[in-house]
Structure 1
């Protein structure tokens, strides 16, 4: 509802407008749900599309961490996530157990303030992590075994 003072002739009136926004809210909710569904597997999207979708989901949100706040392993894991690798593939690349990778992913998500893989990809790509360079560095060093 909105109102504005208007004058008609010598008389003052209040012009009131009532608008039912139920349908618009329902459409917004459906759009957000569609974006969330698409963002669950964003590995086949280009960077600009991911960034635009992320901006639609959370306009003006800034992640609390910087790239420097991540450990070397978290940065490596983020790089492979940005390549679209699964936890199992990341575990194989580093010679780690899948549970250890999950722990790294959970710590990474907590530090960068996300709760989805697609959001981690957006966060990483916004900071220049494309995956290939990080993965190449990791392979050059060789896999490390967890104890």
Structure 2
């Protein structure tokens, strides 16, 4: 609930429709406290909202989020929602101007409470670094094919054209960790080469979407 006594107005942003729709579903039963008024994939937020919840799945990180572009002159607070909790990445995000950085390992009620606290003026950071384990109800492309959240994100970045080194640098993973995720992901989706992985990704929803849903 906002200080004005109404639900906190939230826009959900990510390049993948499945991801933002999944987050909206998590928040639905708390609509008396958090009202999702806009869902955007690859489009700027157009509604006057209190908080922009930016899901990092498939995003090119490592250089901070473009807060000014997301806010576009408004007063909304930008909150990162991610399973990548690397300390340097969190630091760079706050240096870029975000108001909070939330782990995908928290449950829906904790997420709602954190959004309310950030809207009220608190700064929230993850308690530990590393990688959070997404909640079972979380959604991401490739989940139905057995891909973990991290494997799916690597396939998304490969589909977008990033090299192994670029993926490592921008996600703060070692190059060996990236290669390990690639090997296990390739085995699960039945491909052997990068070109095959790109084609698989295009066919199975790993290209960024263009979507705007305005509600209320």
TM-score range, shorter chain: 0.3 to 0.5
**Length-normalised TM-score, structure 2:** 0.30
More helix by share: 1
TM-score (normalizing by structure 1): 0.43
Q: Say which one has the larger Rg.
A: 1
